[in-house]
Structure 1
Amino acid sequence: MQYLLLIYRNEAELSKMDPVDRQKLSAEYGTYTQSIIQSGHFKAGDGLQPTTTATTVRVRDGKTLTTDGPFAETREQLGGYYLVEAKDLDAAVALAARIPGARDGSIEVRPVMIYK
């Protein structure tokens, strides 16, 4: 079954990181990504640009409305994702717990819908 692992963290805190710590975190993500590629769990994944680059789209009364930025102000912002293959939720949670961002942010684990 496929699961989407959504990585949330505080963008303001990330922007305050010194370059050495940021490089270390990036290397940890690289190591994690390589490990799930090698194990066969990896399907897709990427980091996202900051929420300041986001555009929210709504359609109301047949009109498309756009707003700069995310839909809602939150303490943590979506910063990236992994799409993984896992035998069950427990296996997906175990993969999520190894994501470096889980230490100071949160990882939302969501099963992907299968349409038949």
Structure 2
Amino acid sequence: MRYALLMHYAEPAAGELDEAVIAEARQAFDVYAKALESAGVLLVADVLQPTAASTTVTRREGGLRVQDGPFAETREALAGVFLIDVPDLDAAIGWAEKCPGSQWGVIEIRPVATAFLDGRWSA
């Protein structure tokens, strides 16, 4: 079953984190991604740019509305996604627990409902 591990945590301000801390986090994520890959469960991993780089699109009120930045102001933001394919929720929890982002944020585990793969939708 496919699960998205959604990393949520507070975005540090520019210059707030020491370069050594950033390098340590990058190394931890490199080790984590390689462990997922070695286990044969990693489908894709993306780390997102800060929310300031976001553009939000909606048609909720009938017409197109495009706005810079995130839709909602929150303390924590979606920072990245790991898409994994594991047998069950327990396995997904095991991988989420090992995610370096769980040390300073929250990892939301969400089952994938449908996926567009190889030119078609599948459940």
Structure 1 length normalisation: TM-score? 0.93
The structure where helix makes up a greater share of residues is 1
Partner deviation per Cα, 1:37-88 (whole Å, 9 max, x = no partner) = 0001100011000000001111045411011111111111111010001111
Which aligned pairs between 1:20-99 and structure 2 lie closer than 5 A? 20-99=20-99
- Aligned residue pairs: how many? 116
In structure 2, distance between residues paired with 1:86 and 1:97: 14
Kindly tell me: are residues 100 and 14 of structure 1, through their superposed partners in 2, closer, same or farther at Cα, counting changes over 3 Å? Answer: farther
2:119 maps to none
In structure 1, distance between residues paired with 2:52 and 2:37: 30
In structure 2, distance between residues paired with 1:61 and 1:72: 17
Structure 2 length normalisation: TM-score? 0.88
In structure 1, distance between residues paired with 2:15 and 2:77: 13
Q: 4+ residue runs of structure 1 moved beyond 4 angstroms? A: none
One-letter amino acid matched to 1:21: V
The reply to whether residue 111 of structure 1 matches residue 84 of structure 2 is no
Identity percentage over the alignment? Answer: 38
- Give structure 2 stretches of 5+ with no counterpart: 115-121
> How big is the alpha-carbon RMSD for the aligned residues of Structure 1 and Structure 2?
1.5
